[in-house]
Amino acid sequence: MTDLHELTARQLLQGYADRTFSPVEVVGSVLERIEAVQPRVNAFCRIDSEAAMDTARASEERWRRGEPAGLVDGVPVSVKDILLLRGGPTLRGSLTIDPKGQAWDEDAPSVARLREHGAVFTGKTTTPEFGWKGVTDSPVYGITRNPHDPSRTAGGSSGGSAAAVALGAGPMSLGTDGGGSVRIPASFCGVFGLKPTYGRVPLYPASAFGTLAHVGPLTRDAADAALMMDVISAPDWRDWSGLPAMEGDFTSVITGGVAGLRIAYSPSLGGIASVAPDVAAVVRRAADRLAGLGAIVEEADPPIGEDPVEAFHTLWFSGAAKVVEHLAPEQRALLDPGLREICEQGAGYSALEYLGAVDVRMRLGHAMGCFHESYDLLLTPTLPITAFAAGREAPEGAPSPRWTGWTPFTYPFNMTQQPAASVPCGTDGSGLPVGVQLVGARHADALVLRASHALYESGLPL
């Protein structure tokens, strides 16, 4: 018999409807699981068992009456500690934030929508300081470790969320993604992660990283992510750049399959990235599987040209500098040393240099728009490698000390604001997960979820 903490959100909801089990039983099982795995991976920075059980009891009563509050009533959900969650502080992994200096009475838009739909919040998950890098360790929380091998990183910056979902500490978690921060840990931890089109999920307070920053789900599979998106994509007046409500819903369209879809398979983005052989083999199998399901798959590289990493650095490091500009020298001394370095670099860019990076971004967005006139989806590795040693920003011997040196497949699509998902399609020779990335044109979130779901339905791992 499957343990309750191992079920997907959809299976939990079916069990509640059938009265096979109750929200109280499920939340109790998840909280026990959190207690068991937390010492091993450090996925959570705050656990609120009492509040979770109170919410579960209220959910159980609604289900008893046959009146669930919404689409995820009674489903355990965790929240990355970048997003506001009413009832506790949001420390963002930083010693520079005073929890007593905050009001704890507001939810972020995505959190508010989940609460309205009856979700049970189990706690906050770990993040690097201000979500600045692609691994998860911080001066406040320490190191978050990979659920498949605790000596390795979970990835980041939503590493706590990905590790929690992978270990059964709740089937759903909210993450953020400004350069890969949902997809990177999803790939390393072997779960599903979606970065929606920018603005599809409202964000408040606004990120200092501007329109690079997206909010998205980390889940067991694509169908749970579609369900979560049906909740969190509702508009919120606090986000001035948010998109209007979409017509229809995600859940009803993901079963359409991939027959006839035009998919470009790009093994290395035209030579930008050097990909580990085991990773390349898994992505090749994913391309073959999609072709076997009826998609028209061609090997073709998107028109990215040269790696846009320097333009991304200008945008990202400038945003980081903005985050800490108010700090006194003694507070800056408390920052993660790597964050302090990029903030100093970011503060040195001129307005013209920043606008030059914006220009690179606009050209890239235009090029990808043209590309998607020919192809519905782009298929790439999520990352060129599998998880490396924990406590490092980059693998040993990497040519670049920065996290962007090993994430060439993720940050370009934050620059273009396109929807992109990481699907766990296999493992390397050491048993570490490999993610496959599916990228759609802007606003084609449903199509990305549909193709991802088709891979799950065909049987994973490949």
On the question of pLDDT at 452 being above 60, the answer is yes
* 101's tokens: 């200096």
* CB-based burial, 156-167: b 16+ in 10 Å, e otherwise: bbbbbbbbbbbb
Q: Which range (93-107, 113-127, 295-309) has the least confidence?
A: 93-107
Is 80 noted as a catalytic residue in this protein?
yes
What value does the mean pLDDT take over residues 303-310?
Answer: 95
Residue ranges of domains in the chain? 4-458
What value does the mean pLDDT take over residues 172-201?
Answer: 98
What value does the mean pLDDT take over residues 114-130?
Answer: 98
* Distance of alpha carbon 228 from the chain centroid: 13
Residue 101's pLDDT band, with cuts at 50, 70 and 90, is: confident
Q: How much is the pLDDT for 19?
A: 97
What value does the mean pLDDT take over residues 261-271?
Answer: 97
| 407-421 residue pLDDT tens | 999 999 999 999 999
Q: Are residues 139 and 93 in contact, defined by beta-carbon separation less than 8 angstroms?
A: yes
What value does the mean pLDDT take over residues 348-355?
Answer: 98
What value does the mean pLDDT take over residues 5-10?
Answer: 98
Q: Is the dihedral of CA 228, 234, 240, 244 positive or negative?
A: positive
Q: How much is the pLDDT for 356?
A: 98
* CB-based burial, 40-70: b 16+ in 10 Å, e otherwise: ebbbbbbbbbebbbebbebbbebbeeeebbb
29, 157, 158, 161: which one is catalytic?
A: 157
Q: How much is the pLDDT for 2?
A: 73
- Rounded percentage of the chain residues whose pLDDT exceeds 90: 98
Q: Which CATH class is domain 4-458?
A: alpha beta
Q: Which range (102-106, 201-205, 415-419) has the least confidence?
A: 102-106
| 137-169 residue pLDDT tens | 999 999 999 999 999 999 999 999 999 999 999
The CA distance from 86 to 173, in Å, is 16
Is 158 noted as a catalytic residue in this protein?
no
Residue 196's pLDDT band, with cuts at 50, 70 and 90, is: very high
158, 181, 266, 318: which one is catalytic?
A: 181
| 47-90 residue pLDDT tens | 999 999 999 999 999 999 999 999 999 999 999 999 999 999 99
On the question of pLDDT at 1 being above 70, the answer is no
On the question of pLDDT at 234 being above 70, the answer is yes
Report the chain's mean pLDDT, rounded to a whole number: 97
29, 59, 78, 80: which one is catalytic?
A: 80
| 365-375 residue pLDDT tens | 999 999 999 99
Q: How much is the pLDDT for 100?
A: 87
Is 157 noted as a catalytic residue in this protein?
yes
* DSSP letters for 384-405: SS---BTT-SS-TT-S-SSGGG
Please identify which residue in the block is written with the tokens 């089990």.
Answer: 21
Residue 199's pLDDT band, with cuts at 50, 70 and 90, is: very high
